[in-house]
Structure 1
Amino acid sequence: MHPAPWTVDNSAPSYADDGMPASIRHRALPGADGHRLYLVEFDPAQFVPSAFAAAGIACPDTIARSVPKRQAEFFHGRSAARLALMQLGHTALTQVGIGAVRQPLWPEGIIGSITHAGPYAAAIALPASPRHGIGIDIEMIADGSTLEALRATAMDAEEAAVLQAAVCDQWSYPALATALFSAKESLFKAAHASVGRFFGFEAARCRRWDARSGSLHLQLTQTLCAGFSQGDTCQISVSRLERAAVFTSYLW
């Protein structure tokens, strides 16, 4: 099943004139019981640090010391997270912190995920029960040396062959390779809290691209924890965004 279309969100609160997102959209995520995924589109070059204070979004020291582009990504990712939390009854004062390995720190009883790439940031939040984890990821379609790096680090020859066989008018090889990298990122984000450690790209291998449902099927090559055993298959949802980007998600 392909994802629902995006809806422009005209009810989202204004944060500030400085750093105001160019647009805010949302859509339902399959399996998320109607909870919305929020997508913010912004221009990093227009961002100013005063937007944090104006919007009431906390700026950690590590972000305050970073370059403006990173500040813009963090701000708009947290803006999307605020909207996701507000649909669960939290107020605009609720903050999503940053953990020791840069993971978002959600309020107790909430699972969620944040991603950003290029002009996009997105977030979703869900009640922790009955779900265990969720991961979302946006990636700009790779080319040149970036594509070569994906081939070298994120896939093996068998996976590359699966992608090459799936090339079509709608999905070029670079787009599919980017989608595979993104799918593994979404799997990592969804599983990390339960696994409790980092695991590499080799922990999951692409076995099939399902064009009908728009999904990549990743099979685990090792047991990660009680919920992720060697041989298990994880179906990662894949779709395209404008501006040469792909979006993936995994909910379990």
Structure 2
Amino acid sequence: MLMETNFVDEKSRILLVDDDEALRGLIAEFLGGHGYTVFQADGGQTMRKLLEQERVSIVVLDVMMPGEDGLSLARSLSGRLDLGIIMVSALGSETDRIVGLEVGADDYLAKPVSPRELLARIRALLRRQHQVEEADDVATAFSFEDWTFDVIRRVLRDPSNVIISLSEGEFSLLRVFVERPQRVLTRDQLLEYARGPDSDAFDRAIDTQVSRLRRKLATRTKSELIRTVRNEGYMFLPKVAKR
């Protein structure tokens, strides 16, 4: 089933994926009343068909659906940088939320979902998307301590102009640091900002990923670039110039 309500603009287009038609209708009516264009799909097949036909900014995915569940669908969409993903589920434990974030969701809400809270989460995610788009428009590369980091070509060069190989997770993590230098970032913030196929949700896994990136940087410079702030998180120390 496909349905559209309240056309506004491309940035306000939301796709609801849930096998509960009554719940979809209630949320669609609520979001539509706040100026959003709302599409509805009852499962993965309908979702994919609609995404081929329409451009949306955020997909709201129910986890527990017959056939292909929301986790599988989120994993299949995680490579779509143009899409934000909010998962909703009756499974609301910490482990369930972590799994949802690990497979590619930007946010996770436990059912029963408050339409007002969902609206607030959608607005927050749209703001983050807009901030990323603005940053991409302004800066395509960064320099720090004679290093250069090209985020478009995904190339990191050390002070000797040697290319340093980065994993997907290390690339995402370094981008978070250079876009937010000289400020303390908690582990939760690092997870949120660096979401990707290789991002880890557990504190210790984040620590391990930071350690790997720090070692790669340390082999080419004597300066401390990433500092551990006890009981708080991490700080990228150098001044960063946008290019």
Which structure features the higher share of helix residues?
Answer: 2
Structure with greater Cα Rg: 2
* TM score, norm. by length of structure 2: 0.28
Which structure features the higher share of strand residues?
Answer: 1
* TM score, norm. by length of structure 1: 0.28
